[in-house]
Amino acid sequence: MQGDVAARLEPMRRRHVRACAEIEQVLFAGDSPWPAAAFHSELDLGGHYLVAVDGSVAGGDEHVLGYAGLAVMGKRGDYETSVHTIGVRPEHQGTGLGKALLRAVLAKADELAAPVLLEVRTDNDSAIGLYEKHGFRRLGLRKGYYQPSGADAYTMRREAITGERQEDGR
């Protein structure tokens, strides 16, 4: 992984949630940032959630640099997934962490041979660029999707990558 710190990815644990919710407040002010309870319920539902942490420091929620989460719907052989959230602390953006997090959750979708859906603000050029480079295409427009800002969203979809192996990786 690139970056200005020795970041590593690991599964999101309950101890990371407070930091993730704090980062959400910074990144998504005006667009209903997720509170800690939202992260907890995604973990309860068995979502595939990852954090990027500063690998030079052992433990502690203050060292979370970014996070990403993939929700898995459906059943074996017919999964559909959705990138529910992805964010990197502003001071660490542009260093490769978002790409690493996205690739890690997409690898999970690929294990399940599942398509991936997401919503992104229509004015979020960096995120749209990142998604397009990873095989997402615009499906449609959702007017006023983000609240309370009223910002519009594109729905984007990445088709399933079907290989020889399709397994239940939940």
Ligand X SMILES: CC(C)(COP(=O)(O)OP(=O)(O)OC[C@H]1O[C@@H](n2cnc3c(N)ncnc32)[C@H](O)[C@@H]1OP(=O)(O)O)[C@@H](O)C(=O)NCCC(=O)NCCS
Residues interacting with ligand X, by CB under 6 A? 27, 86-88, 93-99, 120, 124-127, 129-130, 133
Parallel, antiparallel or unpaired: strands 78-88 and 137-142: unpaired
Q: Among all residues, whose Cβ is closest to ligand X?
A: 98
CB of 164 to ligand X, least distance (A): 29
Residue located via tokens 């203050």: 62
Query: Distance between CA 52 and CA 9 in Å, rounded?
Result: 4
> Smaller CB distance to ligand X: residue 125 or 168?
125
Looking at the Cβ atoms of 107 and 168, the one nearer to ligand X is 107
Beta carbon of residue 169, minimum distance to ligand X (angstroms, whole number): 23
**HSE-CB of 98 using CA atoms within 13 angstroms:** 20
Q: Which is nearer to ligand X, 82 or 95 (CB)?
A: 95
Question: Would you say 69 or 87 has its CB closer to ligand X?
Answer: 87
Q: How far is the CB of 77 from ligand X (least distance, A)?
A: 28
- Which regions of 2-160 does DSSP assign to beta strands (E)? 7-11, 48-54, 64-75, 78-88, 116-121, 137-142, 153-158
